[in-house]
Every structure is written in structure tokens, then in C-alpha cells.
Structure 1
């Protein structure tokens, strides 16, 4: 039997050999895998306890750019009540979206990938590998039938889940071809099922802003297009070097891609404006993105001095003042300056509708949706009356219980706004920007500008 680290230390504090530590590491990893497998089982059983009242109240994923939705698991899996997801996510300390994925993966594995599910529960396949397969089969386009999913299950289970993402993509493409799930592509080679699925895409990950002020761009292009792009970037990077740039090749290629985007945008704007540009070359500014950056400022004499670092609202990442200065100095950049709003001032209006100035104050104060562990940016959220606005109070001569005022407003994403309105979740503001939530099962959470923490259930709730 392998001893725990505490037992080993108690036995002989200085007797921690390399063999002991390796054995302990292996034991801990096995325990971690077992716990992850058990968590999948718990998620599936949680789903069993919460069937939806109708298909319209079932949990689903919204599809960007579309009005439709995707189910959290594939054809043949039971539906799950959408609001039960938030309770499980909060208990686990993860977002509702992450909890939705966990439940979906558990159902997909149990109902459509049963061999892989059995391997996970027996410890032969780690949970993370199985979930990678489940994520792929759930969101395959076109959707996989039960028979198609079972065929993939047999192929993956045969190698005990040891399959990479590229192999998995090809396996799914082959399955789509084998089960005739998509209309045949006349340009595809009939001997190559992989070509029947067009993998071309360009994805700009706007949610993950690096501290250096960069975004990740990923693309799959037609071979000819990719070679053309590579040549254009190489030529531009070489031109920058010839003009005296001392930056690395990677940086110059990245700047070249931005130059291509701005040049094309400028040409488009110039064409639309019939040549009435504002620059020296007759072209208007190409970069017209509003960047919400927040810097601490102090007044020295009659001059306002900004700190060297600030926070980008998009991505909640640090940004350097020198970076922002550089963006503003670009001749093709249109700079938009937003008025400063004091977050400590109480703003209010007698109306139900929220004026832009109050909305902006709430967005800046809350930063994200204020539901526990939710990270959706506040600028894309609804502004909710914490205490419901009474539309009849003024007409009946009663004081307004839920005023449209800073102390009674909070940023909630659409999902958690609906959750608060239509379920037993409740919350209140105990200080400016500080919220306490209580779940239907009595779990309590505190959310402030630093994040979310659990409130000890033994502590009595604070009184407003």
C-alpha cells in the first residue's frame, strides 16, 4: 500500500527517495483520474434528476451568428432542464457554460459512446480524453446519428482512447462519408472521405486577450490562398526590414497581416465614400475600433499623469500606456475618447428604462456578469434591477421598491438574467458592486470585483 506524503514525512522526514515520490505521483494521478470519472457519473445522474418540462426549456448552446441552438449532447441523449446547470456549476466553482459542457459530455459518453464510457469508469481511459471525443461527436457538422456515433465509439475504444485531434477529425469525416450524412461534394475525391468536409475557416479569438495586447488568429485556407498570403507577408516583412525595422521576423509578419487588413478596409471605405478621404493620400482612417482601456490617473500641478499600465475591458487583461499611445499615433487610426464616469457616484432616474450613462457606469463597475463564476463581459450583458421595478408604484402613490439607480442595478448575461427571473435563485447587493447569491438548494456565494467565493453555509446571511 502506498503511503501518503504526510505519512512518509511522519515516518522519516528526510527519507523521501525518488522512488517514493514517483510512486506517490502515480498514486495521486490515479486518484485524480478516478475522481474525474466519478464526476462525469455525478453529472449524468444530476441530468437524470432534472428533465425539462418541454423541449423549449431544455439546456442548449447558442450558435454564434445564427438564431438556432445546438443541444448539449447528440441525438438519442435525454434532454436536461436548462436552469439546473447553474446549480451544479456553482457548486463546482465553474461557469454555467462549463457545467453545461460537463453534463453534455457525460450524457454523450453514457448514451452514444458506451464503450468509451465503460473504459473511463474502469480507469483505462482518462476523463479528459473521453471528453475530447464527446465534444467532437456532439458538435459534428452535419450531426451524427446514433449509429454513426456508435461506430466512432467502437473505433476509439479499440485503441483505448489514444487518439489525437487530427486523427479524430479524420475519423469523424470518414464516418460522415460512410453513413452518407452529408450531400456529396462534387469537388471531393470519392476515395478520401476527409475532403467531403470543408475545413476552411478563419477564427479570431476575441475573448482571450494576451497581456501584451494581442489576439490569437487561427485559419485553414485553400492551398493557393495560403501560399499567396505567405508570400505577401514575407514581402511586407522584408520591406519593413529594408526600411530599418529591427523587430523579429515573426513580429514583422504579424504587422504585415494588420497592414493588409487596414489597406483593404481603407480601400473599401474610399470606394464607398467616392474618394472623399481625410488622409494625405485621400484615404480615410482604416482602424475605427473603440478600445475600452482604463488607467489610473493623478493630477500633478495642472497636468494629468496616467499610470504606465491599465486594464483592457475586452479580455480583462493588462495593457501598457505606450501601446495605447502607439495605436493613437497610427495615421490610419480613428481614436474615440469616452467620457470619464465616476463609479462612486449614485446615479438614478425615475423611469424604468436605463439611460446610457447609468448603463455605462454599471458596465464599468461590474466588468462581467455578476453571477457566480460567470465571465461574460458586462458590455454584452443586460442591466438588471436587483429588486424588481414596480410599474404601478407611481400611479398608486407608493414608493418605488426597485428604483432604476446604481445601488439597485447589476450586469447579468441573458442566461443568468432569465435564471434569476424564472427560477429560485436570488441575489442582493450588500455593497457597491458586491453581490450575495443563494441557490435553490441553499448554497451561498459572494461575487465582487475580485471574483467569486463561497459563503460558509453556517454563517447567517448579512442584513441589508
Structure 2
């Protein structure tokens, strides 16, 4: 038997045997699963307290790859006040979209997948497995009726939730066919006419830029398209190697994907090697005659002294999107391509207050606010500021000038902030309030008294509100 030695000051856990450690790990997992199940129940009860008429319209959320919004859960689930999800998200330290998904999964399980819901609370199915099923049944196309969702629930519950994504997709497709939810094409094979689950999408995760200057792309495409794509990328990687590239296969495949997006080759080396004959598709047309393959507007901010932000890779700056590091060498490489059209924006001093006389926000002030805030300034929101509204923190008073009063909400950078459309509407139409306590530093107060500080470093929860009936001790 293997024993773990306990040093000076070691806890009882440190003295456990290997078997004891395994038992403790399993116990910790059970506690975690129980807590996740309880969180689902509490999220559903939070939704019960907030029907649409309590705050605003019914909550919806965007689905990757879709151009419209979807209900928070499937047919037969109760509607939820749109703005209540933001307060739940801030308490949990997650985004509003993640909070909407949590509530949606809880309602989907409780109302449309009750067998799976019971198994989660009995400890037989972990919450994450049940939530993956709920995510699928919510977004199925065509939408599952409550009866059809019940059929899926029965089949999944029969195997205690142990079903993989591929099996779940087949089950949903069979359910669509069984309940005649799709309109079959009369010219198509009747065996295929009902398989209308369409998981295809291409998602560029532009909110998660790696420190090395890379970005993740996720896609679900037709089988034939996937095979053609794989061949094209493999051919591009092989061509680069034949033309002299010494980069790894993964790096060459990644560059080949960029070439497909630009419809041009990345390397222009007229060399041949090991039996591979490189062919150049040169014509009388010169590069100067061709339209730019890539148009770039770069908003990267580098410290002139390069103090603090230096890495083993070289001088670094901050990408405007997501506050991620970017290498100066990468900027130079992006701009060095002769087929790249680069737009250089003028430098704006973020420490100089800018003011306009009217309500409308001039481009220069808008740009300064975008560069200062970087993202939506609501707690835990990561939407890039360039796609946000610019909000007057203290609202503009249209009657102030006519009545001879000072303007309480001037159009100046000390009274402007970047808010995405959802959180802009939340600030305008709900009890949420915020103030700018320093340039680019905001303090938010939620309807139930929770307070948060948001700055360029992220979100920090301030002193929590007093529990009901328990006054906070006074500080001497």
C-alpha cells in the first residue's frame, strides 16, 4: 500500500493513503455534482420570481451561426424577464449570455426533460451531462414540441444520461421523423427527408485572442465540404514546404487556411525540391493591378517605453479587442505583405478630456471612449467596445438649455462609456445604476444592492449588501 508522507504542519488529507485520496477525490466530485444540481434548481426558482411583466420582455439569446435570437428554452417553458439574467450572472461572476444559458437549461430540464431533471437531483446524472442534452433540445431545428422533447427525455433517462453528441444527434433526428416535425421534400428520399437537424456553423472566436496573436475558429460543415477543405489545406501545407517553408505542419496548415480566405498563396519562393515542381501562375497582371487581398485597420496600442509589457518573444502591445498581448513583429509582418492595404489611425491621447456641445458624439470623442474602455463596461461583459453604443452615464437632459439650467449629462469623455446594446437597454430600462469614479473605472449597483467595480483589468465585487434583518456593524 502506498502512503503519502505528512510533513510538518500537514493536514489530515496529506496523511491519507492512495486509496484514501481516491475516496476523497470521489467525495469531492459528488459534492461538486450536488452543488451544480442545486445551482440549476436555484436558477429555475430565480426565473420563477421574474416573469416577463416583472422587469421587461421575455429573455432571448443569440445562437452561434444564427442571424436571429432564440427563446431562452423550448416550447412549454415559462417566459423569463429579460433583465433578471444580468443580476444572476454578476453574482456568479459569469457573462449575461452564460447566465441566460444556465436559466434556459434549468427551465428546459424542469419542464421538458423531467426524468433527466429528477436523475440530476437524485445524483445519478451529473448536471453537465443533463445541460448538454438541454442545449441540444433547445436549439433543434425544427423545434421539438413538448411531446417530442418528452420522447428524447425518456430515451436519455433510460441510459442515465450516458449518451454522446453523435448518439444524441441521431436520437433527435429520429424524434423529428417520428413526430413528423419536418416537412419532407416530395422529390427527396423519404428516408432522408426528415433529418432536418442542421448543426452547420462557422464561428470565429474573436473575443479570445491568444497572447501569440492567434485566434480560434470553430466550424461544423457538410461532410463533402469538410473533405474538400482538408485536401485544400493539406495541399497548401505541402506547397509551402516545397517552396521552402521550414515551419511545422500545423503552422503550414494554419497559413494555408489564411490563403484560402485571401485566395492567394502565402509564399512566393520559386524553388523546387525533391521531385516537387513548383508552378507559378504568373500572368501579365502585376500585383499593383490586383485588388488588395487583405484590408487591415489596426488598433494596437504599444507603450512607447515598452516598460512592463515585454516577453521572451520581443516587444509587445495590447490588442484593442480583449486586452490581449500582440507582438510588434507580428504587426510588422501583417503590414509587410504587398497585397495588404493598411489603414493607420491617428494617435489619440486618452488622458485629454474631449467635449462636444450637443448630444451627438463626434467621431474623435467616440474613438477616445472606445480606446479607453476596450470592451462593454458592464461587469464581466467582453463585447468589444467598437461594436458597442456610447452611453451618457448621466443622461442628457434635452430641456436643460431651454430652461436655463446647467446640462447634467454633458457629452464629454468623463460622462461617456461603451455599453453593448443589451446592457445599454438594461441601464436605461431597469434599476441597474452605474457611475464613473475615475477615467475608465465604473462602479455598478445591481437592483438587489450588489456592487461591482469594472475597469480595464476586469470586474471586482465590492462589499456585498447586508443580509435581510442583519445590520452591518459600524466602523469606528
- Structure 2 partner of 1:381: 388
Which of 278, 291, 300 aligns to 1:284? It is 291
Query: Residues 75 and 145 of structure 2 are in contact (CA less than 8 Å); yes or no, is this contact kept in structure 1?
Result: yes
Deviation at 1:455, TM superposition (A): 0.9
2:299 is the alignment partner of 1:329: no
2:235 is the alignment partner of 1:235: yes
Deviation at 1:189, TM superposition (A): 4.7
- Structure 2 partner of 1:144: 144
Query: Residues 183 and 193 of structure 2 are in contact (CA less than 8 Å); yes or no, is this contact kept in structure 1?
Result: no
Q: Which runs of 5 or more residues in structure 2 are unaligned?
A: 1-5, 266-283, 307-313, 467-471
Q: Which runs of 5 or more residues in structure 1 are unaligned?
A: 1-5, 266-276, 300-306
CA distance in structure 2 between the aligned counterparts of 1:25 and 1:428, rounded to whole angstroms: 45
- Taking structure 1 as the reference length, the TM-score comes to 0.87
Secondary structure of 2:417 counterpart: strand
Query: Is the alpha carbon distance of 1:175 and 1:19 closer, same or farther for their aligned partners in structure 2, counting shifts above 3 Å?
Result: same
Deviation string 1:70-117 (CA, Å, 9 cap, x unpaired) is 110100000011111111111111111111111111000000000000
2:26 is the alignment partner of 1:19: no
CA distance in structure 2 between the aligned counterparts of 1:11 and 1:203, rounded to whole angstroms: 47
Between structures 1 and 2, the one with greater helix share: 1
Deviation at 1:159, TM superposition (A): 0.7
Query: Residues 369 and 418 of structure 2 are in contact (CA less than 8 Å); yes or no, is this contact kept in structure 1?
Result: yes
Query: Is the alpha carbon distance of 1:104 and 1:309 closer, same or farther for their aligned partners in structure 2, counting shifts above 3 Å?
Result: same
Query: Is the alpha carbon distance of 1:14 and 1:380 closer, same or farther for their aligned partners in structure 2, counting shifts above 3 Å?
Result: closer
Deviation at 1:56, TM superposition (A): 7.1
Query: Is the alpha carbon distance of 1:91 and 1:228 closer, same or farther for their aligned partners in structure 2, counting shifts above 3 Å?
Result: closer
Deviation string 1:18-64 (CA, Å, 9 cap, x unpaired) is 22222221111111111110011101111111111299711111467
Q: Which moved more, 1:375-384 or 1:146-155?
A: 375-384
CA distance in structure 2 between the aligned counterparts of 1:431 and 1:140, rounded to whole angstroms: 46
Cα-Cα RMSD:
2.8
- Structure 1 partner of 2:275: none
Deviation string 1:221-247 (CA, Å, 9 cap, x unpaired) is 444444443333333322222221111
Which of 431, 436, 441 aligns to 2:438? It is 431
Deviation at 1:10, TM superposition (A): 7.5
Query: Residues 297 and 342 of structure 2 are in contact (CA less than 8 Å); yes or no, is this contact kept in structure 1?
Result: yes
Aligned residues: 436
Deviation string 1:291-311 (CA, Å, 9 cap, x unpaired) is 322211139xxxxxxx71112
2:64 is the alignment partner of 1:57: no
- Structure 2 partner of 1:157: 157
- Structure 2 partner of 1:262: 262
Q: Which moved more, 1:15-24 or 1:158-167?
A: 15-24
Query: Residues 370 and 412 of structure 1 are in contact (CA less than 8 Å); yes or no, is this contact kept in structure 2?
Result: yes
Query: Residues 44 and 103 of structure 1 are in contact (CA less than 8 Å); yes or no, is this contact kept in structure 2?
Result: yes
Query: Residues 279 and 285 of structure 1 are in contact (CA less than 8 Å); yes or no, is this contact kept in structure 2?
Result: no
Query: Residues 369 and 411 of structure 1 are in contact (CA less than 8 Å); yes or no, is this contact kept in structure 2?
Result: yes
- Structure 1 partner of 2:428: 421
Deviation at 1:136, TM superposition (A): 0.8
Query: Residues 33 and 123 of structure 2 are in contact (CA less than 8 Å); yes or no, is this contact kept in structure 1?
Result: yes
- Taking structure 2 as the reference length, the TM-score comes to 0.85
Deviation at 1:317, TM superposition (A): 2.0
CA distance in structure 1 between the aligned counterparts of 2:227 and 2:236, rounded to whole angstroms: 14
Which of 436, 450, 453 aligns to 2:457? It is 450
Query: Residues 278 and 284 of structure 1 are in contact (CA less than 8 Å); yes or no, is this contact kept in structure 2?
Result: no
CA distance in structure 2 between the aligned counterparts of 1:324 and 1:43, rounded to whole angstroms: 45
- Structure 1 partner of 2:324: 317
- Structure 2 partner of 1:405: 412
Secondary structure of 1:107 counterpart: helix
CA distance in structure 2 between the aligned counterparts of 1:65 and 1:158, rounded to whole angstroms: 32
Secondary structure of 2:289 counterpart: coil
CA distance in structure 1 between the aligned counterparts of 2:166 and 2:248, rounded to whole angstroms: 31
- Structure 1 partner of 2:356: 349
Query: Residues 174 and 193 of structure 1 are in contact (CA less than 8 Å); yes or no, is this contact kept in structure 2?
Result: no
CA distance in structure 2 between the aligned counterparts of 1:401 and 1:131, rounded to whole angstroms: 47
- Structure 1 partner of 2:303: 296
- Structure 2 partner of 1:71: 71
CA distance in structure 2 between the aligned counterparts of 1:13 and 1:155, rounded to whole angstroms: 41
Query: Residues 188 and 196 of structure 1 are in contact (CA less than 8 Å); yes or no, is this contact kept in structure 2?
Result: no
CA distance in structure 1 between the aligned counterparts of 2:142 and 2:418, rounded to whole angstroms: 36
Secondary structure of 1:260 counterpart: helix
Query: Residues 278 and 285 of structure 1 are in contact (CA less than 8 Å); yes or no, is this contact kept in structure 2?
Result: no
- Structure 1 partner of 2:45: 45
Query: Is the alpha carbon distance of 1:10 and 1:395 closer, same or farther for their aligned partners in structure 2, counting shifts above 3 Å?
Result: same
Q: Which moved more, 1:385-394 or 1:50-59?
A: 50-59
- Structure 2 partner of 1:441: 448
CA distance in structure 2 between the aligned counterparts of 1:68 and 1:135, rounded to whole angstroms: 17
CA distance in structure 1 between the aligned counterparts of 2:222 and 2:433, rounded to whole angstroms: 51
CA distance in structure 2 between the aligned counterparts of 1:279 and 1:340, rounded to whole angstroms: 34
